[in-house]
Chains A and B, each alone.
Chain A
Amino acid sequence: MTVSVSPGSLEDRKAVIDAFARRHRFKWYEAIPWVAAIASYFAFDSYHALGAQMFATILFALSLDLLIGFAGIVTLGHAAFFGVGAYAAGIMAANGWQEPLSQLLVAAVAASGVGFASGLIVLRTAGLTLLMQTLVVAALLQELANKWSSVTGGSDGLLGMKIDPIFGVFRFDLYGDTAYVYCLVVLFIGWLIARNIVYSSFGRSLTGIRENPNRMHAIGAPVDGRKIAIYTISAALAGVAGAMIAQTTALVGLNTLALSKSGELIIMLVIGGVGQLYGAFIGVPLYMIAQDRFSQIDPIFWYFWIGLFMIFVVVFARGGVLGVCGRLLERRSSR
């Protein structure tokens, strides 16, 4: 994944240029998640509902990866956009607008609007203040959803959602068969968008901003504008993920906006690996399958162990699963 640039012979330089020219091309291993997802549809017949939720959460984590991993914006309030998307789709569905794809669109627009507006304020700061402000934005929206109960259902959650069949043909069923395929397709589109962003010059400039904002200012990159742009895009993707969860579970609650939601998402992403585009595809399934298993045995202990595990990952296994695998591969090839 990384290309080391060192002054050397002409061939060395050529190899580097080649590597840069090839980095955006599709590699064979990028097909693995999709093949696995399609195979899982047939292999795990009774887990389609869980699978659908997993895909939506992967999209959510992917949108967070764009911020944390590529732009270096560490946020504690990413659930804000997820929640806005979920409530947008939910409120439409509960009030007679039942067409799912237009709901996704509205959710994306609503979430990106919130992302743009809050980004204008929040991204002026950094560090602890930025963390606090992202958290406050989510808390503000949560309080709004809690108190504006005539529209949002308040602390009881939004009930009575009705969703039309997709294209008027594919009905959302009890087993989650339709939901599985629907979420997978939307995730695939979201992934294509994210991948294109990451490998575009815009995406490269985000990495530059992450590594050294002062220098990016110095070479004339519009740092603030780009941060706001990626914040808005990421918010839109998170909003779509929220809307998918709302549509497939037919329930929206205050917890979609909670800090614990953002915290769990960060943990899922980090287990997989941050800033590598595929961390979400590894971390989210690992987390959700483990949660599905262990919280049946002992739900109280889940938070305790996941917390300890997180500390372990940070102290001993930097970079999550992908980071550790990458280091192992490097060690083998350097031998």
Chain B
Amino acid sequence: MSEFLSITISILFHGVAMAMVLYLISVGLSVTMGLMGFVNLAHGAFAMAGGYMLVLLMKQQHWPFGLALLAAIVICVVMSLILERLLYRRLYGGGELDQVLMTMGLIFASVGAATWLFGPVSQSLEPPAMLRGQINFLGRDFPTYRSFLILCGALLVTALWLGLERTRFGAQIRASVDNLRMAQTLGINTSRLFSIAFALGSGLAALGGGLGADFLNVGPNYALEYLVYFLIVVAVGGLGSIRGPFVAALIVGVSDTAFKYLAPQYGAFFIYAITMAILLWRPRGLFGQSA
């Protein structure tokens, strides 16, 4: 019985940690999808960039963890703003196929650029000394770094939700997701809103990619390899929703951990099967608006 309990706790712990990473990366995708109806398949490339920046700044420049993470986020935000103005903007309201193509092109370019700059081998994150080892909580040992991850994720998610519910900017985003035209009529500068939301989403993705480097290995194929996870989280959660993806990330994180632990011979098979089942039941996702 106690073995069963400790396995359950362990699965829940690692699953929730993974969910935090998945949510941080995917929430921006859900917002851009809801706001602009833009299918940004290259969203994972920002997470990859964040991961690379963090790992390399720490390894090669010996920057401290916090500073490197901050730098990674800032660089990704700037990069995403440039790309948004230069490329994404042209395709708002355009055909879905064009969006898919352009972001697919970005993915391929990111794969090539990362291979060229950092080599084909994936990079591993070395957490700072403070976050290594185990901590004892209620008589059980937990890996410090993943505990930190959960804590960080929980704080960020709370801040994000409060920001969207309580601030003027959050209200503007919610209004624009609900009804873009009406929001424009009321004088909300949606063009600026798009840019900020896009940059915010990319920054969060960079943060998720950096923090989550020990779940999702930072390699050149990052954006291709994990795309399916990000899309699952967004689609199962419901497009444009902020909380839906959190629930979806919890489902994916915990069940992925559970199946990989209990039935490793099936790999990711069950995650995909569960996803199909959920969408068969609710084609618009768990928290999607019904038409």
Q: In the complex, are the beta carbons of A311 and B231 less than 8 A apart?
A: no
Q: Do residues B273 and A266 form an inter-chain contact, with CB atoms below 8 A? A: no
Residue B31, interface by CB 8 Å: no
Report the Cα distance A309→B96, complex, angstroms. Answer: 19
Determine the distance from Cα of A65 to Cα of B269 in the docked complex, in whole angstroms: 29
**Per-residue B-contact encoding for A294-322, CB less than 8 Å = 1, 0 else:** 00000011111111111101110010000
Contact of B39 among A128, A301, A307, A309 (CB under 8 A): A128
Query: Distance (Å) between the CB of A72 and the closest chain B CB?
Result: 8
Contact of A314 with B101 at beta-carbon distance under 8 Å, contacts A129-B239, A304-B112, A307-B107 already known: yes
A2–B290 Cα distance when bound, in Å, is 37
A20–B189 alpha-carbon span in the complex (Å)? 47
Per-residue contact bits, chain B 73-115, to A (CB 8 Å; 1 contact, 0 not) = 0000000000000010011000011101110111111111101
Q: Check if B112 sits within 8 Å of A303, measured CB to CB.
A: yes
A313, B239: Cβ atoms closer than 8 Å: no
Cβ-neighbour of B116 out of A147, A267, A300 (below 8 A):
A300
Q: State whether the Cβ of A74 lies closer than 8 Å to any Cβ in chain B.
A: yes
**Nearest A residue to B265, CB-CB:** A147
A310 to B42, CA, bound (A): 13
- Decide if B108 touches A136 in the complex (CB within 8 Å): no
Among the stretches A11-19, A40-48, A137-145, A199-207, the one at the interface with B is: A137-145
CB of A121 closer than 8 Å to a CB of B: yes
Contact A259 B224 (CB under 8 A): yes
Neighbouring A residues of B112 by C-beta, 8 Å: 300-307
Name the one of B102, B239, B276 contacting A311, with C-beta atoms under 8 angstroms: B102
Assuming the contacts A128-B234, A147-B269, asked whether A307 and B106 have C-beta atoms less than 8 A apart, the reply is yes
Question: Are B97's CB and A315's CB within 8 A?
Answer: no
Quick one: given A270-B101, A304-B116, A310-B102, are A128 and B109 in contact (CB under 8 Å)? no
A68 to B232, CA, bound (A): 22
Q: Does B235 contact A (CB under 8 A)?
A: yes
- Which of B9-17, B177-185, B277-285 makes up part of the contact surface? B277-285
Known contacts A303-B109, A304-B113, A310-B101: A136-B285 contact under CB 8 Å: no
CB atoms of A311 and B39 under 8 A apart = no
Task: Please indicate the chain A residues that have their CB under 8 angstroms from the CB of B275 in the complex.
Answer: 132-133, 136
A68–B95 alpha-carbon span in the complex (Å): 12
Given A128-B231, A132-B228, A266-B100, are A307 and B111 neighbors across the interface (CB < 8 Å)? yes
Distance A309 CA – B268 CA, assembled complex (angstroms): 33
CB atoms of B100 and A131 under 8 A apart: yes
Known: A139-B268, A147-B266. Is A263-B113 also a contact (CB below 8 A)?
no
Q: Who on chain B is nearest to A135 by CB?
A: B228
A102 interface residue, CB < 8 Å from B?
no
Closest to B115 in A: A300
Q: Does B71 contact A (CB under 8 A)?
A: no
User: Are A274 and B283 in contact, with the CB atoms below 8 A?
Assistant: no
Flag whether A249 is at the interface (Cβ < 8 A).
no
Determine whether the beta carbon of B279 is less than 8 Å from that of A129: yes
Residues of chain B within 8 A (CB-CB) of A74 are 96-97, 100
B272 touches A139 (CB 8 A): yes
Residue on B with the closest CB to A72?
B97
Does residue A146 face the partner (Cβ distance < 8 Å to B)?
A: yes
Chain A: CB-nearest residue to B272: A140
B101 near A129 with CB under 8 A, answer no
Interface pair B105/A310, CB less than 8 Å apart: yes
The answer to whether the Cβ of A196 comes within 8 Å of any Cβ in the partner chain is no
Q: Are A313 and B101 in contact (CB under 8 A)?
A: yes
Residues of B within 8 A of A303 (CB): 108-109, 111-112, 115
Give the CA-CA distance A68 to B104 in the complex, in Å.
15
From B105, B109, B231, B239, A314 is in contact (CB under 8 Å) with B105
The distance in angstroms between the C-alpha atoms of A270 and B97, with both chains bound, is 10
B267 at the interface (CB under 8 A from A): yes
B258 at the interface (CB under 8 A from A): no
- Asked if B227 is at the interface (CB within 8 A of a chain A CB), the reply is yes
Given A121-B276, A303-B108; A136-B228 close (CB under 8 Å): yes
Partner of A144 from B37, B96, B269 at Cβ < 8 Å: B269
Residue of B nearest to A315 (CB): B90
C-alpha spacing A124/B279, complex, angstroms: 9
Q: Are B105 and A308 in contact (CB under 8 A)?
A: yes
The distance in angstroms between the C-alpha atoms of A266 and B41, with both chains bound, is: 14
CB–CB A266/B101 < 8 A = yes
B152 at the interface (CB under 8 A from A): no
B101→A128 contact, CB < 8 A? no
Closest residue of chain A to B102 (Cβ to Cβ) is A314
Q: Are B285 and A263 in contact (CB under 8 A)?
A: no
The answer, yes or no, to whether B193 is at the interface (CB within 8 Å) is no
Whole-angstrom CA separation of A274 from B96 in the bound complex: 13
Please, could you name 25 A-B residue pairs with CB atoms under 8 Å apart, sorted by A? A121-B279, A124-B280, A128-B33, A128-B231, A131-B41, A132-B275, A133-B276, A135-B231, A136-B232, A136-B272, A137-B272, A137-B276, A143-B268, A263-B107, A263-B224, A274-B97, A304-B109, A304-B111, A304-B113, A306-B108, A307-B106, A307-B107, A308-B105, A310-B102, A314-B102
- B-side residues, CB < 8 A to A, are 33, 37, 39, 41, 87, 90-91, 96-98, 100-102, 104-113, 115-116, 224, 227-228, 231-232, 234-235, 239, 265-269, 272-273, 275-276, 279-280, 283-285
Known: A133-B275, A300-B115, A304-B116. 12 other contacts (CB 8 A): A74-B96, A74-B100, A127-B96, A140-B273, A144-B269, A267-B108, A303-B112, A305-B112, A307-B109, A307-B112, A310-B105, A311-B109
